Amino acid sequence: MRLNSIQYRFPLKRGVMTFYVMMMFWACLAVNPQAHAASTHKYDATAIRIFAYHRIGEDRYPDTSIRREQFEAHIQELASGNYNVIALPDAIAALKSGNSFPPRTVVLTFDGGHASIAKYAVPLLLKHKFPFTLFISSNLIDSGSNEYMRWGDIKKLAKNDLVTIGMHPASYRRLYSETDKTIKQSIHAGRSRIRDMTGANADLFAYPFGEYSHAYMDIIADTGFRAAVTQNSAVAHLDSTLFELPRFSMTEGYGSVDRFRLLANALPLPLEITAPQSVVLSETEDVKHFTLRYNSDVVDNITRLSCFLSDQGRLEFDHGAERNGAEDENKDDNTDEQRTKQLSITLEYPLVNGRNRLNCTYPAHDDTTEQNGRNLWRWFGKLLIYNAPDAPGMPGE
């Protein structure tokens, strides 16, 4: 079999602000690409857009809060836009069974147990009878701070059929670099405290800050949870891993109703990072070369695939032929394996120390797939953690 590759290079110099990069990203989505053949894929029938909110109307925390008017616009969009809002447990059950969803299926989740969620979000959600999941950290609730909800409020919500109580570790902090023992202790402490104070058996998990490792994920899978959610910006679908389900994080800077509408209509982009394989990367690993696997039935024209890496700009394509994921040339060309292709990325600049986001989009719209005059996009995102003290930080750090 012929071995081919696609190389990517980054044209922007180091130090370009992440905000500027993201503005380029959204500008790219605003461009109307040439129409391509409409198709329906197995991924689309099981597409779920999971949204993550943190603080509501706490303007002094713009990185984790969304303005009240922005959130209200999201709820109004859901109420008037023919969306299918379902509970996270129902979404997980359907993903496990392979059941399909109506178009524009959405799940709402809230992290941290902030008091502003109870004050501004809960009344609106209950008014519209939208189900939602509340992830809480028991230590934050026990702190008694006015910034967080009270156990009595959470217990009352736990009795409402529209509400699912999920959990963070007892201590809301990064645990991916901790020992297995420390992770398990924080999980067990949080679960016991929630059960004692609310009667709820929290079996859905959210990684604080959306940060996790494969070892951390394995612990969650082995300790009685049904699923876990991240902050990887992507659309969940049939082949999504239940213990790293993606969510779109909603904050002030990226919380406009136009962006919400774009994401609530997004379709899956089934990409997979096959190298490096870790989520948490170190200086001992090759972080200069990335390999992505994709399905050529979905990505049928590689020139329309757009990828961005935080602080490094849009990836320019240096085209070569594509490499098949399957190695047996005698296999049926219509099998999933034969439709699997790989492409390579060569970074011109190093990853920054800390959080790095890879986001990719692919147009899924033409005359037959356009909804209400809106273009549809396939979406993939992955949060990677680079632990390298000598590497540069994000601008301003």
Rounded mean pLDDT, 49-64: 96
Rounded mean pLDDT, 142-160: 97
The pLDDT score that the predictor gives to residue 312 is: 82
- Per residue in 210-239, pLDDT (tens digit) is 999 999 999 999 999 999 999 999 999 999
The model's confidence at residue 42, banded by pLDDT at 50, 70 and 90, is confident
| Residues across the chain | 397
The pLDDT score that the predictor gives to residue 323 is: 54
Rounded mean pLDDT, 311-322: 64
Domains of the chain, residue spans: 7-39+270-387, 48-265
The pLDDT score that the predictor gives to residue 8 is: 35
Task: Provide the β-strand partners of residue 342.
Answer: 293, 323
How do 354-363 and 377-387 pair as beta strands?
antiparallel
C-alpha 292/C-alpha 256 separation (Å) is: 30
Q: Which residue has the higher pLDDT, 84 or 396?
A: 84
The model's confidence at residue 33, banded by pLDDT at 50, 70 and 90, is very low
**Eight-class DSSP state of 121:** I
> For every residue of 4-71, which 3-state class applies, written as one string?
CCCEEECCCCCCCCHHHHHHHHHHHHHCCCCCCCCCCCHHHHCCEEEEEECEECCCCCCCCEECHHHH
pLDDT tops 60 at residue 9? no
- Per residue in 362-390, pLDDT (tens digit) is 998 654 455 554 678 999 999 999 988 76
The model's confidence at residue 326, banded by pLDDT at 50, 70 and 90, is very low
- Write phi, then psi, for 35 (nearest 5 degrees): -65, 145
The pLDDT score that the predictor gives to residue 2 is: 32
CATH topology of domain 48-265: TIM Barrel (3.20.20)
- Per residue in 261-315, pLDDT (tens digit) is 999 999 999 999 998 989 999 888 888 888 899 998 899 888 899 999 887 888 7
